[in-house]
Structure 1
Amino acid sequence: MTGAGSVVQVSVYPVKSLAGRTVREAEVGPAGLVGDRAWSVVDVTTGERVTVKSTPEMGEVVATGDDEADTITLTEVLGRPVRLQRSGQPQVDAAAVHLVSRRAIARAAAGDVPEGCSADDPRANLLLDLPEDEDERSWVGRTVRVGEVEIAVTRTPKHCLGVYAEVRRPGTVRVGDRVEVLPG
């Protein structure tokens, strides 16, 4: 087992494409952080999903958890009637958990940014503080323990910083939790 750092921030994105909320701890289930990307925004007129890719101003709105208030705010910001729709499963694009280290953000600030990625808002669930000799990209194919949660790191994102992972053992993650790369 290799000590690889600690969790410095936990973020949940209740509504897909909206800004996230920073929390002290979060439950992690088989599909990822509980409540993460549990809702999507739908255009009332067309019935189609509205995303930050087509409507960048969505990324500035922080979901409050009050569906009615969030719907009113989004309708005002977007200038068209929208509604929130609960998703059966979290609306993740690639994996249950997205991890990014402070070092990855520093590399991005120095110009090492994947095309289409926002270094200002990597939209990660877990922000990690890692030792200088540790790079989360080397964890692909490995199992990592974050507090009491175990995740299998599956790949590096094409258009984001950090790594994507699937949940092997659910539990709770907290700010300050130790991050360890397991042997094997």
Structure 2
Amino acid sequence: MTTGRPVGRVEEIRIYPVRSLAGRALTLAEVLPGGLAGDRVWTVLGADDSPVRPKEAPALRDVEPTGDPSADAARLTELLNRPVRLAPSPAARPDVAPVHLVSRQAVDRAAAGEVPEGCSAEDPRANLLLDLDGDERAWVGRELRVGGAVLRITRTPKHCLGVYADVLAPGPVRTGDTVLLV
């Protein structure tokens, strides 16, 4: 069992079943080697098979997926006034870390005006919202035990709040779980 120094707790868990759409809050999630189970498993594609992103279609962020890819695609086609479809997301993407963590403190800093361009303080689109003692940006290269999972903090995102992490040991994470800096 990995031990460490308590530095906070899990305040909220979110998955985003469809990339670019709204997320879903959970009280329990299974952290797998590729990230949280059910997270970003579908991608919205346009008629030319290129991904449709909120940068070009901001309304996407407010759409809650139903879990039915056909129904979601039909709803998005109507909303965007152009044909789209949902396709399974690639299993591995070198530009995306498996887990995105952000602290309540980072959200508060962003609300006070310290926010990277292109990032929303209201919805940092993180998987784990943490209430921390300290600044998660200082933990790049370190390991965290969050619930039953062990994560290595790999980098800060260029376009958003918080930090990205790779999964060293899969396991369950629950709201209220202690976060340990290993």
Indicate the TM-score class for this superposition, using the shorter chain for normalisation. over 0.9
Identity %: 56
Match of 1:66 among 65, 68, 90: 68
Match of 2:152 in 1: 152
- TM-score by length of structure 1 reads 0.92
Bigger drift between 168-177 and 90-99 goes to 90-99
Note the C-alpha offset of 1:91.
5.9
RMSD: 1.4
Kindly report which structure 2 residues correspond to 1:135-174, keeping only aligned pairs within 5 A, or say none. Answer: 135-174=135-174
CA distance in 2, matches of 1:108, 1:148: 29
Q: Hey, what's the Cα distance between the residues in 1 that align with 2:56 and 2:131?
A: 33
Which whole-Å CA distance do the structure 2 matches of 1:128 and 1:46 have between them?
39
Report runs of 4+ in structure 1 exceeding 3 Å deviation. Answer: 90-93
Deviation at 1:40, TM superposition (A): 0.4
* TM-aligned CA distance change 1:53 to 1:90, over 3 Å: farther
Give 1:177's aligned residue. 177
Q: Is the 8 A contact 1:5 1:178 kept in 2?
A: yes
Count of matched residue pairs:
179
TM-score relative to the length of structure 2: 0.93
User: Structure 2: 5+ residue runs without aligned partners?
Assistant: none
Over residues 106-134 of structure 1, what are the superposed CA-to-partner deviations in whole Å (9 max), with x where a residue is unaligned?
A: 11111111122111110000000113xx1
Q: Structure 1: which 5+ runs fail to align?
A: none
Query: Tell me, what secondary structure is at the counterpart of 1:76?
Result: helix
